[in-house]
Structure 1
Amino acid sequence: MKTRFSRALVYGLIILFGLPSALPNVLPDSVLQKLPEWYTQNQLALGLDLRGGSHLLLEVDTSELTANKNPALHEQIVRDAVEQSLEVVRRRLDETGMVEPMITRQGSDSILVQLPGVNDPQHIRELLGTTARMTFHWAANEKSALLGKIISVQGDTPSERYQLEERVALEGKHISDARLAFNQETGEPVVNFKLDNEGARRFGDMTKHNIGRPLAIVLDDRVVTAPVIRSAIQGGSGEISGSFTSASANDLALLLRAGALPAPLKVIEERTVGPDLGSDAISMGISTGIVGALLVLAFMVGIYGRWGFIACVGLAVNIGLSFGVLSLLGATLTLPGIAGFILSIGMAVDANILINERIREETRRGEPAMAALRAGFQRAYSTILDSNVTSLIAISLLFLFGSGPVRGFAVTMAVGLLISMFTAISFTRLVMEWRVEKLGKQPLIISGIKMLDRISENTIPFLRARFFGLVASAVLSLASVFLFFSPGLDYGVDFSGGTVIEVSAPDVGVADLRKSLQQQSTAQLAIQEFGAQGHYLVRMPAQSAEDVANGTSVQAVKTAVLAISPDAKFPRVEMVGPRVSGDFGDATILAIILAGLGMLGYLWIRFESHFALAATLTLALDLTKTIGFFALAGVEFNLTAVAALLALIGYSVNDKVVVFDRIRENLRLTPNKPLVQLLNESITSTLTRTVFTSVTTFLALLPMAMGGGNAVASFSLPMLFGIVIGTSSSILIAAPILLLLGERRIRKGKTQLRDSAEVAQRELDLLP
């Protein structure tokens, strides 16, 4: 075993390295300006839901490029088109002077664009939605039919048509620069362009031999202008005139400089958050997080006294290190991420509770202080490992199948849980050992709740109510299934598709708003009063992919509102197309199934098949009841709700692992004891830990549920319900199912634990 000094040195270095990494997140700007740039940049980035901005998911439409191509070539074409589109999108946004746009590939054929500070992305939509493929074509004449096919191309209006040679005279890719200018004679906005060397040579030759002939400049299958060539143009430059405004001419110049897209980009999802809403979310997250943490700390100190205070110090180190690690990783903090961090605080205390309760058991057996401390930590190792791994399985799936803010939830929870294992097993143990040495020959006394201690001294026959528990659970789950179909879930736009617009118009009544919207829009609209007076949610049902791509329905609503309230604001816009909502639904089902299978496989390996099956069946019952809660309470089922479901999977199995771990330990010590008695004793001995862990997690989330509002209601409310359901099912459902399956094994002459499970347990018990 390493010396205490060497451990203190290693742990101290970890903390001294980790905590300063978190400091730039809380230091004032006046201090940050005096520090090195490499250090001050080590901060958590705020997601768009916290700082405001727009999120656009663009689909690269490669249908024309891949027509009649074999699968291998099809994949290569799509890959190349997406990569080229990424570069063009990046250049176009850079040309606008936008600050810190984030452009990343998502999936096989989509591009995610995040635009901080952009509250109305309509102009960006137009810039990114324009392919900007420019070509030069000669106007058709009597010789054109002999040279090739003649095409008819639209001009400024649908009735204006140009007869042009299909043959491309010059590709727009030869344009090396383009700028807004003004015609010296008319003063009208124009676009001056320059060609590269090859383009200049070809342009000079073609104009030299076609004097007096119109040359059409075609942009995305539309003639912008068709000037008559009066003389040879040898300078490698030219002018594009047309019915331009300064803004449209500047946009065209930008598009030409950035280059053409290889395929059209279509918006399939849009989300916008105003800066005020983002700042409110930050304030809410910080305040509810602080209150939740204080409630947990007060509970721990109130229950365990000085030993609870040591756990609180470890928890404070855990929080600091978690922020430090997230900063080093360059993670983005989102509103669901804050919720995940608050939940991880509640779950991090679980390890300390397990350790303290194990130490108390050893003390009651008469063990000396240091021996009780070491035995308590050793016996808690396997339970802490198993419970955290099961939670991480669910969280990892959430990261794989989630997107955006939901991934932020997964990252913060995973980092929090991993660091909690270090602080509980390593740091807290070191401090407790130091404190025990100070006691000398005094006994190690960790206080608790005397009433629970008295209850735990006598075995409670929980399994006498096993048939009632199973029947009641089955009835409630069956009722939840009926609620799922009628009245059903209140699906958010993430799953149902459609549009949600939050409107802030304090001087407008709901009747006037409805009348104006009905006059401007033919779409079916639902208007709901929301929050403070003058705040409304306008909902539109699922729209076609074309409606989502052009965003006209959102613009129509904004126009109607601004017509009766010029000062109106739109704090939030969410628009999800049919493809995205379908993908979300498929990914959610797959993530939940894989989470269940992951738990089943891990528990099968670590325990035995009937342990794994009992936990999985109980988990299915817990999930159905939680779905019923969504339907009965009318809580919106959205991506945040999926985060809650997967977090509940981890939490529920976590709770059952603690009970199962004690059952496994008792089976190894007294394998011949009647199974009913052994299960009752195991449940009773872990009752204090079960109650305390549930209370701390409940307290951590309670402020968010009470003060978080609608933004986090889909996470916090189901989590509170799930904590109660998950805790009670460990005793009333999982244990009875395990008893039935265990008795079946006895009748078949099988043992309750296989040798590999016992060996794995012994190996963990030998850890320092």
Structure 2
Amino acid sequence: MLQIDSWKRVLIWSVCVIGLLMALPNAFYTRVEQSNDAKAAIELGIDTPEMQAEAAQWPNWLPSSLVNLGLDLRGGAHLLAEVQVGDVYESRMEAMWPEIRDALRDERTTVGTIRRQESAPDEIRVRVSQPEGMTRALEVVRGLARQVQTLTGVGATDIEARAEGDTIVVQLSDAEKLASDDRTVRQSLEIIRRRIDEVGTREPTIQRQGADRILIQVPGIGSAGELKKIIGTTAQLTFNPVVGPANSLDDTVGVGEKVVPSIEEGGRLYVIESNPVVTGEELVDAQPSFDQNGRPAVSFRFNTSGARKFGDYTLENIGAPFAIVLDDEVISAPVIQSHIPGGSGIITGNFTVEESTNLAVLLRAGALPAGLEFLEERTIGPELGQDSIDAGKVATIVAFVAVLVFMALSYGLFGIFANIALILNVGILFGLLSLIGATLTLPGIAGIVLTVGMAVDANVLIFERIREELKSAKGPARAIELGYEKALSAILDANVTTFITAVILFAMGSGPVRGFSITLGLGILTSVFTAIFVTRLMIVTWFERRRPKTIEV
């Protein structure tokens, strides 16, 4: 007989109510979004009457999670960037030079004096005064090599050394270059993601494309230029010893030195050592603050190794100037007054509060390991996004109404039950999308439209099966029970295969394909739930109250 336990009934209706409650904020999208933004600003300390008023637009006791709108619906910026992986080779060589220099100096009796020569950016050339000691010199340099830490580079070392007359030439090996390229792109990807997250944008799409390209799509941002400003700044912070002043950028300097400008008034120039004492990679925190005179500044803190190097250098160079360099510009060149232990300090300059805050964000997010070349950039206006939303609404409403009318005409009262379940299905689907913070795109809307069409498939199978059982002179109660039992296997088979397809699309696809697969996959789950449980509960409840002798499906 038709029976559903009380606890099952409570559970089914509870799921429906919770799903609709989670979907409710999307019916008041702008109001909830403004309230969420205001609450986030208040948490950051921007507590004004206007913010309090906006935060109060949506009650705290109601859910406030929204379905995020994708780039094609909300408008925003699209960039395709190419990572200049070759930039890393030069910095790797610069970082390796002190180690090579110290190792060869220990062999001075064999190789004589050493002098670094002008060389290409991706190599180091070292001239030895005693060429007869070249074999020993190569042995020492090769002894500094390390194993390449990748599966494809098993057995290979990171550097190669060869002799050209009285000169040693050191380069990165091909295996290390491949590994370095992969690390550089991965690191750039993560840093771009952190920088964009820092400014509070919603659900950006940041994906690797090919060997050295990164796709960046950020909904809700004003323009591609604004997005480039956020991620394009390399923010490479270094702390370099100052050799002395310079008269022009074309001044002749020694090997391992360079001329850099200053942001100070008057455009002062400095000659600094190319090899930094500490880099931004050893920075663990940076926060906007104020100096002792109340001017905007940035306080920073190094990790253990950076703190040790910074402390040792300040102890040994009291009275000497020390350049704080950001992207090859000296932002401050204080004289070391005393030993600075602990690895903490402050960057001062002619900053505004906004500039010090932005600098802290960039430093905290980390330095991009290599430059970016933007191959493609597009700004999608909110008007185009609104057109997409309107078109998606029309498509969904037309599909929805057509299915409702068809079910009501085809199956009468049972069709109306199926229609109520279909409405609940869409509500629960939006509730799930809000719960997981999914991003809705045009392909995602297509998935919802397809879900609306597929949602009644299970009910059609059940109702047709009930019709067949009624023709076999079964009673109404038995016909309904057998209809659900015998249609269950077909429903599961059809939906499981489609769900597997959605999972494969999500795993193998990217961007729009994933958006489609998410709405399709979740739509299948909600459709099966509403068809098997919700519709059956409504039919059983109706049957228990009316107890009809005959039914028409």
TM-score norm. by structure 1 comes to 0.46
CA change 1:104–1:294 in 2 (3 A) is: closer
1:36-88 deviation per Cα after TM superposition (whole angstroms, max 9, x unaligned): 43633233222232222235566766664799824158799789867865775
How far 1:91 moved relative to its partner? 6.2
Structure with the bigger percentage of strand: 2
1:90-122 deviation per Cα after TM superposition (whole angstroms, max 9, x unaligned): 664577xx3435468756998775534213132
1:167-224 deviation per Cα after TM superposition (whole angstroms, max 9, x unaligned): 435545688769899xx9xxxxx996667687488458536257xxxx766555x4x3
What amino acid sits opposite 1:11 in the alignment?
A: I
CA change 1:38–1:201 in 2 (3 A) is: farther
CA contact (8 A) 1:101 1:114 kept: no
Matched, 1:206 2:317: yes
- Aligned counterpart, 2:507: 400
Matched, 1:323 2:430: yes
Matched, 1:100 2:206: no
Give me the whole-angstrom Cα distance separating, in 2, the residues matched to 1:378 and 1:127. Answer: 58
How far 1:417 moved relative to its partner? 1.3
Query: What are the residue-to-residue correspondences of 1:229-244 with 2, within 5 Å?
Result: 233=337
Matched, 1:369 2:476: yes
Q: Which of 350, 360, 363 is the aligned partner of 2:467?
A: 360
Matched, 1:9 2:10: yes
- Aligned counterpart, 2:225: 122
Give me the whole-angstrom Cα distance separating, in 2, the residues matched to 1:423 and 1:193. Answer: 56
CA contact (8 A) 1:150 1:163 kept: no
What amino acid sits opposite 1:341 in the alignment?
A: I
Q: Which of 432, 435, 443 is the aligned partner of 2:550?
A: 443
Give me the whole-angstrom Cα distance separating, in 1, the residues matched to 2:446 and 2:271. Answer: 62
How far 1:161 moved relative to its partner? 11
1:236-289 deviation per Cα after TM superposition (whole angstroms, max 9, x unaligned): 667668xx9999999767645654234445657756422122222222222321
- Aligned counterpart, 2:164: none
Matched, 1:299 2:300: no
CA contact (8 A) 2:77 2:218 kept: yes
Give me the whole-angstrom Cα distance separating, in 2, the residues matched to 1:225 and 1:59. Answer: 27
Query: What are the residue-to-residue correspondences of 1:166-205 with 2, within 5 Å?
Result: 166-169=274-277, 171=279, 199=310, 202-203=313-314
Give me the whole-angstrom Cα distance separating, in 1, the residues matched to 2:443 and 2:349. Answer: 49
Give me the whole-angstrom Cα distance separating, in 2, the residues matched to 1:296 and 1:84. Answer: 49
What amino acid sits opposite 1:42 in the alignment?
A: S
CA contact (8 A) 1:150 1:164 kept: no
- Aligned counterpart, 1:132: 235
What amino acid sits opposite 2:201 in the alignment?
A: E
Give me the whole-angstrom Cα distance separating, in 1, the residues matched to 2:227 and 2:538. Answer: 56
- Aligned counterpart, 1:53: 76
CA contact (8 A) 1:149 1:167 kept: no
CA change 1:76–1:10 in 2 (3 A) is: farther
Matched, 1:150 2:258: no
Q: Which of 38, 42, 49 is the aligned partner of 2:65?
A: 42
CA change 1:139–1:340 in 2 (3 A) is: same
Give me the whole-angstrom Cα distance separating, in 1, the residues matched to 2:466 and 2:378. Answer: 51
Matched, 1:288 2:395: yes
CA change 1:16–1:194 in 2 (3 A) is: closer
- Aligned counterpart, 2:130: none
What amino acid sits opposite 1:9 in the alignment?
A: V
CA change 1:258–1:249 in 2 (3 A) is: same
Query: What are the residue-to-residue correspondences of 1:491-570 with 2, within 5 Å?
Result: none
What amino acid sits opposite 1:129 in the alignment?
A: G
> What SS does the corresponding residue of 2:222 show, helix, strand or coil?
coil
Gaps in structure 2 of 5+ consecutive residues: 36-55, 93-145, 154-175, 246-252, 262-267, 302-306
Matched, 1:338 2:457: no
CA contact (8 A) 2:189 2:207 kept: no
CA contact (8 A) 2:193 2:206 kept: no
How far 1:165 moved relative to its partner? 4.0
1:383-416 deviation per Cα after TM superposition (whole angstroms, max 9, x unaligned): 1111111111211111112223432221111111
Identity %: 38
- Aligned counterpart, 1:22: 23
Give me the whole-angstrom Cα distance separating, in 2, the residues matched to 1:129 and 1:387. Answer: 48
1:545-594 deviation per Cα after TM superposition (whole angstroms, max 9, x unaligned): xxxxxxxxxxxxxxxxxxxxxxxxxxxxxxxxxxxxxxxxxxxxxxxxxx
How far 1:360 moved relative to its partner? 1.7
CA contact (8 A) 2:205 2:218 kept: no
Which deviates the most, 260-269 or 403-412? Answer: 260-269
Give me the whole-angstrom Cα distance separating, in 1, the residues matched to 2:336 and 2:269. Answer: 26
Query: What are the residue-to-residue correspondences of 1:745-764 with 2, within 5 Å?
Result: none
Tell me the matched-pair count: 421
CA change 1:194–1:149 in 2 (3 A) is: farther
Give me the whole-angstrom Cα distance separating, in 2, the residues matched to 1:34 and 1:180. Answer: 33
Give me the whole-angstrom Cα distance separating, in 1, the residues matched to 2:300 and 2:229. Answer: 25
> What SS does the corresponding residue of 1:208 show, helix, strand or coil?
coil
Give me the whole-angstrom Cα distance separating, in 2, the residues matched to 1:133 and 1:194. Answer: 16
CA change 1:381–1:269 in 2 (3 A) is: farther
CA contact (8 A) 2:25 2:65 kept: yes
Structure with the bigger percentage of helix: 1
Give me the whole-angstrom Cα distance separating, in 1, the residues matched to 2:282 and 2:9. Answer: 66
CA contact (8 A) 1:57 1:113 kept: yes
CA change 1:370–1:200 in 2 (3 A) is: same
CA contact (8 A) 1:139 1:216 kept: no
CA change 1:371–1:77 in 2 (3 A) is: same
CA contact (8 A) 2:444 2:515 kept: yes
1:331-355 deviation per Cα after TM superposition (whole angstroms, max 9, x unaligned): 2222221111111010111111111
What amino acid sits opposite 2:236 in the alignment?
A: R
CA contact (8 A) 2:19 2:431 kept: yes
What amino acid sits opposite 1:100 in the alignment?
A: T
CA contact (8 A) 2:260 2:272 kept: no
How far 1:129 moved relative to its partner? 3.0
How far 1:363 moved relative to its partner? 2.1
CA contact (8 A) 1:399 1:410 kept: yes
CA contact (8 A) 2:82 2:213 kept: yes
> What SS does the corresponding residue of 2:456 show, helix, strand or coil?
helix
- Aligned counterpart, 2:148: 69
Give me the whole-angstrom Cα distance separating, in 1, the residues matched to 2:258 and 2:180. Answer: 28
- Aligned counterpart, 1:488: none
> What SS does the corresponding residue of 1:4 show, helix, strand or coil?
coil
CA change 1:440–1:34 in 2 (3 A) is: same
What amino acid sits opposite 2:509 in the alignment?
A: G
Give me the whole-angstrom Cα distance separating, in 2, the residues matched to 1:357 and 1:43. Answer: 38
What amino acid sits opposite 1:443 in the alignment?
A: T
CA change 1:178–1:155 in 2 (3 A) is: farther
